[in-house]
């Protein structure tokens, strides 16, 4: 039977330690995280990953600010998982809180997140492993053997010699192999095969393994019959008398058996474990999160995401999207500036005001216009500096204020308010940041190249930049460039089995999937495996006026009122239409054509198109790329996902291919699918065209359709235009710029 420890006390006394594996940090934090099953090259022998049990595991080299960001995301992830899993509870079929999430995160039946003092942020450089499952079967006679610890296997090594056969009825030359089947359950538990079955013992008031010995002759030796092509129909047979205790070798989950206790007989289907190969993906799903790292200068932004700072977040959103408010009078501004020690700022205003008065006296129209512009520029700087020298209490629309109350429904990964704050941090630290002359800029616009990306010839540089601007216009880009270091933090905090989401359907009913924390380190703290990276990335933002025109042409039901020359940004109007999808898209159902859903689909599809083009032109594998989508800000980022040295593949891509790469995304063949009409009329997205590996997609390959780019049958989530053709964004863009398109 499976146990938490794989080495006996005797092994510990000799200081026998689990060996460590050599893999990349990203692999160790995901596919090889503790609890996962794997085989080494050659496929011989299954092992289970274990936490590093050294006295001093490698601590993640992260700042206090990043630690705080992780804690914010952790609390949200745990609360979101628990709420979703516990939602299947009903009077007819009660669910225990323990079935939804690890006991360490519960207090009675409510979620109680661990504090940072009980967690260890670990750099996944070392991960232990041990052979598992410790079950073996003879290829010759079907003899079955199981062990609890590695030392037990070592002590009984003589059993595995070809000359020795423990079969009491058929002595021969045995050929032993490790059994490649385990039993898993959505409770997060796993079991090695065993002749017994877990049931609740009312007499002993505990769970117990029944049937480890033959009920007819008392023998402890069993054969495993594997003649059936269906794993679930295999069975154990007594090696001495041939008696079969059970029709199949199926197993009950000991954890769920203990939860149900005496009621387990009525809920056998919910207790039954699934026999699968340890190579199957459903044996282990690492649960991970990621976020844009805030710099030390942006700590004011990070505090907006903390509990209790809702009013500050409201004010930030209102100012960012210019929803407006009541401006203070000049006298009030003067008082605020002088009180804050900004005497020189007010003196500058008075100087310009005197110059304006003199210009009016001289009736110099040009000087009057210039002085009025300077005064306006000065006041704008007071209002929009960070932090503002003259704060204005902005007025957030009632609809947005109500939407902020529903933030738990979004989850941080898709929370438009969190993404708005992260995008602002990205703008300040990279996109809008300037650099000294001669130094490498953090962001290089592809239409204003620096010396590292530009051709050596000045004329060639000018021609290339002009062509880039033309292609950007045809693609509807407002901004397009290279982020030299896209700082991202990814952390893995636990795992689940059978399903990657909190609720799954089993035998016609929904069951909760339990989120498990990793086993504790030697310090008794729970490990959180943290990987940070700062690789090259491509940043793209779309033109608001063209996106709005496309939404109007498509005919979304909730098209917001917006004027391009008005004060409020389109991003703010889009934010007002935001709808929660749920962390695991449980709230995403087909419905009326909606603004926010279409905007997200457009950006997400564009990002996937970029990823495929990057993979084709740069030589990078599609699975080595990642995406980040900022829906309200009409932007997305494509980045190289890896912790090894960044060799500058994306900058090399632009130096070598530049406009050929950009023009590729306008070619009709780029927007076709090899599956043809089957995909075109089935949602416009499949693995043969726009989908990417799950590890690279931020949204589980949902909200994707080539139709939003090139035109075609509406996405499957849109019931307003079901089976109807919609215009694509590129069609609308090129209709608006006919000369350039020609």
* Residue that is last in its domain, among 382, 401, 420: 401
- 361 in a structural domain: yes
End-to-end CA distance of the chain: 71
Beta bridge partners of 172: none
Residue-level pLDDT at 13: 39
- Cβ–Cβ under 8 Å, residues 337 and 345: yes
My answer on whether 352 and 263 are in the same domain is: no
Instruction: Quickly tell me which residue has 């989530």 as its tokens.
Output: 717
Query: Does 253 share its domain with 329?
Result: no
Task: Please provide residue 644's backbone torsions phi and psi, each rounded to the nearest 5 degrees.
Answer: -80, 170
**pLDDT of the residue at 12:** 46
Residue 609 in domain: yes
374 and 449 together in one domain: no
Residue 170 lies in a domain: yes
Q: Which residue positions in the chain have pLDDT lower than 50?
A: 1-4, 10-16, 739-742
Q: Which domain holds residue 667?
A: 440-475+543-741
Verify that 334 and 266 share a domain, yes or no: no
Give me the number of domains the chain comprises: 3
Q: Among residues 247, 277, 307, which one ends one of the domains? A: 277
DSSP code of residue 494: E
Looking at the domain assignment, is residue 568 inside a domain?
Answer: yes
Both 593 and 447 in a single domain?
Answer: yes
Residues 413 and 340: beta-carbon distance below 8 Å: no
| 267 lies in the same domain as 304 | no
Instruction: List, in sequence order, every beta strand (DSSP E) within 103-204.
Output: 106-107, 110-111, 119-122, 128-131, 135-138, 143-146, 176-178, 181-184, 190-192, 197-201
Q: Within a domain: residue 455?
A: yes
Q: Closest by alpha carbon to 513, among 491, 493, 495?
A: 495
d(CA 448, CA 453): 10
Residues β-bridged to residue 719: none
Alpha-carbon separation of residue 529 from 25, 67, 82 (angstroms): 9, 12, 21
Query: Is 235 a domain residue?
Result: yes
Q: Please tell me whether residues 394 and 464 are part of one structural domain.
A: no
H or E segment and range at residue 688: none
Residue where a domain stops, chosen among 401, 428, 452: 401
Helix (H, G, I), strand (E, B) or coil at 32: coil
Q: Within this chain, do residues 220 and 323 fall inside the same structural domain, yes or no? A: no
Q: Are residues 315 and 457 in the same domain?
A: no
Q: At what angle do helices 330-339 and 365-384 cross, to 10 degrees?
A: 50
For 387-422, the DSSP string reads S-SS---B---HHHHHHHHTGGGT-TTT-HHHHHHH
Which of 726, 719, 696, 711 is closest to 589 using CA atoms?
719
Virtual torsion, Cα 462, 468, 472, 474, nearest 10 deg: 100
Q: Is residue 586 part of a domain?
A: yes
With beta carbons less than 8 A apart as the criterion, state whether 257 and 200 touch.
yes
| Domain identity same for 622 and 678 | yes
Q: What is the mean pLDDT of the chain?
A: 88
Q: How many angstroms separate the CA atoms of 166 and 223, rounded?
A: 11
User: Measured at the alpha carbon of residue 495, what is the angle toward residues 121 and 120, in degrees to the nearest 5?
Assistant: 15
Is 718 within 8 Å of 590 (Cβ atoms)? yes
pTM given for the model? 0.82
Q: Answer yes or no: is 604 within a domain.
A: yes
SS3 state at 190: strand
| CA–CA gap between residue 179 and residue 262 (Å, rounded) | 32
Sorted by sequence, the CB contacts under 8 Å of residue 568 that are 6+ apart come out as 321, 322, 323, 324, 562
Do 230 and 335 fall within a single domain? no
Domain match, 469 and 568 both: yes
Q: Which helix (H) or strand (E) holds 613?
A: helix 595-618
Q: Give the CA count within 13 Å in the CB-facing half-sphere of 685.
A: 25
């Amino acid at each position: 039977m499976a146990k938490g420890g794989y080495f006996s006390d005797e092994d510990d006394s000799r200081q026998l330690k689990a060996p460590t594996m050599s893999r990349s940090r990203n692999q160790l934090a995901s596919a090889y995280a503790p609890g996962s099953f794997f085989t080494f090259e050659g496929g011989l022998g299954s092992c289970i990953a274990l936490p590093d049990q050294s006295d001093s595991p490698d601590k993640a080299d992260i700042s206090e600010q990043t630690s705080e960001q992780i804690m914010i995301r952790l609390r949200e992830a745990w609360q979101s998982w628990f709420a979703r899993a516990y939602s299947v509870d009903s009077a007819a079929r009660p669910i225990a809180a323990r079935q939804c999430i690890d006991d360490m995160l519960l207090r009675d039946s409510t979620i109680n997140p661990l504090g940072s003092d009980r967690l260890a942020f670990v750099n996944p450089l070392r991960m232990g492993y041990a052979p598992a499952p410790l079950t073996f079967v003879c290829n010759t006679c079907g003899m079955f053997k199981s062990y609890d610890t590695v030392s037990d296997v070592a002590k009984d090594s003589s059993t595995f010699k070809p000359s020795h056969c423990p079969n009491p009825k058929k002595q021969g030359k045995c050929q032993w192999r490790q059994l490649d089947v385990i039993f898993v359950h959505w409770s997060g538990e796993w079991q090695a095969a065993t002749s017994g079955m877990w049931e609740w013992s009312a007499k002993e008031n505990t769970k117990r393994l029944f049937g480890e010995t033959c009920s007819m002759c008392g023998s402890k030796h069993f054969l495993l019959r594997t003649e059936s092509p269906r794993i679930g129909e295999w069975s154990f047979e007594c090696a001495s008398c041939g008696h079969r205790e059970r029709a199949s070798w199926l197993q009950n989950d000991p954890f769920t058996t203990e939860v149900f206790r005496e009621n387990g007989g009525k809920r056998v289907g919910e207790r039954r474990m699934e026999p699968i190969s340890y190579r199957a993906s459903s044996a282990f799903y690492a649960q991970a999160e990621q976020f844009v790292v805030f710099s030390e200068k942006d700590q004011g932004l990070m505090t907006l995401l903390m509990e209790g700072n809702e009013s500050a977040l409201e004010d930030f959103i209102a100012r960012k999207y210019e929803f407006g408010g009541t401006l203070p009078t000049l006298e009030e501004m003067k008082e605020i500036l002088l009180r804050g020690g900004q005497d020189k700022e007010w003196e500058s205003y008075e100087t310009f005001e005197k110059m304006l008065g003199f210009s009016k006296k001289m009736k110099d129209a040009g000087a009057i216009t210039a002085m009025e512009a300077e005064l306006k520029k000065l006041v704008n700087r007071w209002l929009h500096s960070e932090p503002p020298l003259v704060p204005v209490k902005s007025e957030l629309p009632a609809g947005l204020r109500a939407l902020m109350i529903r933030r738990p429904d979004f989850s941080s990964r898709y929370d438009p308010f969190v993404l708005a704050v992260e995008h602002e941090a990205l703008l300040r630290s990279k996109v809008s940041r300037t650099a000294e002359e001669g130094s490498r800029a953090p962001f290089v616009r592809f239409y204003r190249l620096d010396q590292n990306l530009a051709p050596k010839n000045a004329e060639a540089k000018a021609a290339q930049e002009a062509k880039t601007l033309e292609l950007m216009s045809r693609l509807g880009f407002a901004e397009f460039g290279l982020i030299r270091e896209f700082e991202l933090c990814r952390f893995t905090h636990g795992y689940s089995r059978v399903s990657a989401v909190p609720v799954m359907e089993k035998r016609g009913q929904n069951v909760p999937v339990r989120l498990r924390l990793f086993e504790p380190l030697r310090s008794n703290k729970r490990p959180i495996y943290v990987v940070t990276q700062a690789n090259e990335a491509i940043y793209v933002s779309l033109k608001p006026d063209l996106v709005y025109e496309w939404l109007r042409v498509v005919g979304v039901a909730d098209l917001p009122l917006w004027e391009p020359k008005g004060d409020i940004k389109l991003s703010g109007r889009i934010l007002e239409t935001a709808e929660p999808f749920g962390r695991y898209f449980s709230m995403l159902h087909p419905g009326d054509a909606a603004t926010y859903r279409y905007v997200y689909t457009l950006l997400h599809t564009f990002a996937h198109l970029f990823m495929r083009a990057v993979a084709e032109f740069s030589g990078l594998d599609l699975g080595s790329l990642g995406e980040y989508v900022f829906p309200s800000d009409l932007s997305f980022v494509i980045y190289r996902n890896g912790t090894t040295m960044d060799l500058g593949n994306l900058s090399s891509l632009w130096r070598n291919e530049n406009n050929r790469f950009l023009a590729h995304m306008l070619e009709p063949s780029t927007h076709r699918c090899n599956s043809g009409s089957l995909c075109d009329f089935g949602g416009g997205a499949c693995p043969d065209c726009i989908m990417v590996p799950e590890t690279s997609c931020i949204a589980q390959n949902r909200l994707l359709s080539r139709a939003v780019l090139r035109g075609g049958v509406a996405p499957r989530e849109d019931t307003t235009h079901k089976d109807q053709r919609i215009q694509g964004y590129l069609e609308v863009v090129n209709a608006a710029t006919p000369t350039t398109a020609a």
